[in-house]
Amino acid sequence: MPLLTRVVGTPLTIDIGAGTVAGLAPLLADRRISSGGHVAVVVGPGLGEEIAATLQLENAEIRHTEGGGVEEATKLARELREGFYDALVGIGGGRTIDLAKYAASLSGLPMVAVATSLAHDGIASPVASLEDHGRKGSYGVQMPIAVMVDLDYVRRSDPALRRGGVGDVISNLSAIADWRLAERARGEEVDGVAVTFARTAATSIVHRDDGIDDDAFLIALAEALVLSGLAMATAGSSRPCSGGDHEILHAIDHLFPGTAHHGELAGVGSLFTSWLRGDAKMARDIDACLTRHELPRTPADLGLTLEQFAAAVVDAPGTRPDRYTILEHLDLSEGEVGDRVRAYAEAFGR
């Protein structure tokens, strides 16, 4: 049964389980979404196209996407405004759903997310990560009015994507620590409800001993990723789920594109920033979780040299100029960053 949750006045229908895609047509008949089924459906390559082929939506218009950039999303929004649609449905992985969220926001349409993977917390978040002229940026968007996660399709996704979802969720722990640091150092206001959501999501995963092939774990991971999205919606920004760890992630994406998946980078970033902060317990917990799920832990695991990783750490604060994290707090020189990275690699290298 779908679970109806209300957060900051926004109704969000969440349906997680095997075979949930079969309920998409009835869901779209909900008067909050569409009274006549006049919807546009954006599908990504692979499983998204397969799902679209099984849908029995008489008045739906299927659109295919290969990219995930601002330009494509803007073009889609313009086409949506020129037509007559009640809603936009995004079916696929994170790039497809982010594109659909951005286009729906520009066109003023409610949006339904149908996730085929559990790679990161963008499933239900008010943030879209999109490329613009070769650089990825984060954009504020309206959160989906409904989220569907069909475990039959999730199990068929690349295992690296499911592992990446683990890395993204547990990085909440270091993001919260950075937010609390900003509160102490410069009086930044912290939203306690958002922190509770983000911490609950991370702690529901970090100590589990089952894994990405187990139904119970996948349900818990899906719930944690959605809960992270609700944390961001409550905070009005990505702050509870994005700290110095994500600054490093975005710097690596910019300097060394294609290095690893989003969640894999988030996991390494959260382990490094926890260690940099001197939080031994958090670093041990994150390290144990990354090890258990065979996620990268060091620059070498990512295929980066120590010098490359250090360059990303130096560049990281520039990716979020308005964000105060352990990186801005320490304000290390390039030489000091290199020393810390070498010490980190020695501490966690196998």
pLDDT tens profile 101-142: 999 999 999 999 988 899 989 888 888 888 887 777 788 898
Q: How far is residue 212's CA from residue 224's CA, in Å, rounded to a whole number?
A: 14
* Model pLDDT, residue 9: 41
Going by pLDDT thresholds of 50, 70 and 90, the confidence category of residue 272 is: very high
* Model pLDDT, residue 7: 41
Greater model confidence, 313 or 11: 313
* pLDDT tens digits for range 12-63: 678 887 777 777 777 776 666 776 668 888 988 777 777 777 776 677 788 8
Q: How far is residue 3's CA from residue 283's CA, in Å, rounded to a whole number?
A: 34
Using the predicted structure, report yes or no on whether residue 4 has a pLDDT greater than 70: no
Task: Judge whether 149 and 12 are in contact, CB under 8 Å.
Answer: no
* Model pLDDT, residue 2: 40
* Model pLDDT, residue 6: 40
* pLDDT tens digits for range 288-312: 999 999 999 999 999 999 999 999 9
* Model pLDDT, residue 37: 66
Greater model confidence, 244 or 123: 244
Mean of all residue pLDDT scores within the chain: 89
Listed range (1-5, 184-188, 314-318, 325-329) with the worst mean pLDDT: 1-5
Going by pLDDT thresholds of 50, 70 and 90, the confidence category of residue 1 is: very low
List the one residue out of 137, 85, 75 whose CA is nearest residue 109: 85
Q: pTM value?
A: 0.89
Greater model confidence, 246 or 48: 246
Most confident range (mean pLDDT) of 67-76, 141-150, 163-172 is: 163-172
Greater model confidence, 326 or 32: 326
What proportion of the chain, given as a percentage, has pLDDT over 70? 93
342's tokens: 């070498």
Greater model confidence, 4 or 215: 215
* Model pLDDT, residue 32: 65
